[in-house]
Amino acid sequence: MSDSDPFSTHEVLNQSPIFGDIDLYASDQVLSEAIHREGGEGAAGRLRSFGALAGSRDMLEEGRLANESPPRLRRFDEKGRPLDIVEYHPAYHRLMATSMAAGLHCSVWEHLATPGASPRPGAHVERAGAFYMAAQMEAGHCCPITMTSAAVATLIEEPAIARVLLPRILSRDYDRRIRPMTDKTAITIGMGMTEKQGGTDVRANTTRATPIANGGPGGEYLITGHKWFMSAPMSDAFLVLAQAPGGLACFLMPRLLPDGSANPIRIQRLKDKLGNRSNASAEVEFARTSAWMIGEEGRGIATILAMVTLTRLDCAVSSAGLMRLCLANALLHTRHRKVFGRVLADEPVMTPVLADLALEVEAATALAFRLARAFDHAGDEGEAAFRRLMTPVVKYLVCKTAPGFAAEAMECLGGNGYVEEGLLARAYRELPVNAIWEGSGNVMCLDVLRVMMKEPDAVESVLDGLAKSVAGDRRIATALERVRDILHRPRDIELNARAFVEGLAAVSAAALLRASAPQAVADAYVATRLEGGFARHYGVGLARADMKAIVARALPAGT
C-alpha cells in the first residue's frame, strides 16, 4: 500500500498484454500462405501495410468507440420537418474511410473503368485478404463495404445506369455528405430485400412497383410498401425487390432524387440488434418512392442473386477473420497467464483446446480463400461449377461454426474474455449475423439442393475433382464416398441436406489441408473431423496429434 494513495492496495500481475499494434497480415502465417497459394502473391506488400493499420491500437480503438456509440435516428429537424437521418459516431466514419481507401468496396471492379480491360489476376483473393483483416479491425462497418462491392455485379446488368454510378463506386474517397449521387465524389450502396410476412421467402413480398410510362429495364417505377430490414440506411442508393406487373423485380432506389429532394423513404425505426451495433439496420416504408429497374420484370431474384453470391463470400471471409481474431487473443492470453505456477497454454487440459481451435481457423481460412480463387477464375468452367456449389457450402460451415468457436475462445480468457473492454465479447455478439444474413443454414442447404437439381454436372465436376485430389489418402476418400452416398438416396435428400453440406465442407477442407498444410495439421483435422465422429466440444480427440506443432503454427508472430 502506498502512503500517498490509500487505495493502491495491490500490484497488477499475471495479466496478458493488451491485444493491439499487431500486423494482422505478417503475424498470420496461415493467412499469408493462403494468399500466395490462391493467386494473390503479388499483393503481399499492400496487405502487409493494411494489416499493420488494421491491427493498430488506434484503429482497434476506433472499433470500440463505434460500437459503444451506435447510430441514432433523427426523425425531424428543430422545426418539425422530416429528416430521417441516421447519425454515426466519428469513429465509424474513420473506419469507413480506412476501408474505402484500401479499395475494399471496389478493387475487384477497377478494370471496368477501362473499356475492354480484364480483371486483375488475383483481385478477389487480395480483397478477401484485406476484408479478413478489416473484420478484425471492426466488423460492423464491413456491411456497407460488402454491399457496395457486391452491388456492382447486379448494376452492370443495366449499362446506362452503371455508366453513371461506376465512377463514383470506383472512387477510393469516402464522401459522407448528403447529396445527390451525381454531386458526390464517392457513393455507397445498401440493400432491402426482406419483408415482415416473408423474410427469406422474398417471393412473398407485397411491396408494389408501378411503372411510369412504359417501364421495363432501366425504366422508372414508383414503389409502395415496406422493408423489414434495410441494411445501411444512410447509403446513397439501395437495391430493393418489389412486385412489378410482370412479377418480382430488382430496382435501384436513390436516397436523394437528382434535383436534391428527398426520395420518400420513411425510416420507421433502427433495429436494436444483438451485434453489428456500429452499423445501422432499419425498418422502412416507401410511399410512391422513385426507383429504376435493373434487369427484367419477373427476374428480380436472378438479378439480385449476383450481388447475394458475392456477399455470401464476404460472410465466410469475415467469419474466418473474426475466428482468427478470437484465436489470436486466446493464444496471447494463455501464453502469458500462469495458473498453479505454470503457463496456461502448456497445461495438458488447455493445449488440446488451443490446437483444436487452431485447426478450425486453418480449415475455415483454407475454404474461404479457395472460394475466393473461384471468383477470380469465373471464365473457367470447372471454377464456375465450384463457385456455384461451394459458395453456400462454405458459408454454411464457416458461419455456423464461428459463434460457438468464439464462445470457446472466450472461455480460454475466462472473465477477461467476457467483459466489453476486450475484443472477444464484441466478436461473439457479431458472429451470428453472418450465419443469418444472406440466408440461414437451412437456406444454404436448399441452395445446394437447387444446384443438384438444376446443374447435376456441376456437382459431379466438384466431387470428381475432390476424388482426384484425395486419391492418395484412404481416410479422406472414404469420407467422400459417404458424402456421395447421400446423393444416391434422392427420396431422403432434403432430410439429409445438412449431412451432405457438412460432409462436403469437411472433406473439402481436409483435401485443402492435405495439399497445403503441415502434416500435423492435416492429420489432426482428418482424425477429428472425418474419423472421430461427432465431438460436442473443442479439445476432444487430439491425444495422438502433434498439438504443439499445430499451436506453434497458429501463434501470432511477434507476440
3-state secondary structure 490-525: HHHCCCCHHHHHHHHHHHHHHHHHHHHCCHHHHHHH
**CB of 162 closer than 8 Å to CB of 171:** no
Read off the pLDDT of residues 484-510 as tens digits, 9 standing for 90 and up. 999 888 888 899 999 999 999 999 999
Q: Is the pLDDT of residue 3 over 70?
A: no
Strand-pairing partners, residue 192, are 230, 240
pLDDT digits (tens, 9 = 90+) for 14-32: 899 999 999 999 999 999 9
Looking at residue 468, its pLDDT comes to 96
| pLDDT digit string, tens, across residues 378-387 | 899 999 999 9
Does 559 score more than 80 pLDDT?
Answer: no
pTM as predicted: 0.96
Taking 80 as the threshold, does the pLDDT of residue 4 lie above it?
no
Residue pair 106/149 in contact (Cβ under 8 Å)? The answer is: yes
Amino acid identity for residue 276 in this structure: N
Question: What does the alpha-carbon distance between residue 226 and residue 267 come to, in Å, rounded to a whole number?
Answer: 10
Q: Quickly state the pLDDT bin for 2 (edges 50, 70, 90).
A: low
Q: In terms of C-beta density within 10 A (0-12 exposed, 13-18 middle, 19 or more buried), how is residue 187 classed?
A: buried
Which residue's C-alpha cell is 472499433?
Answer: 63
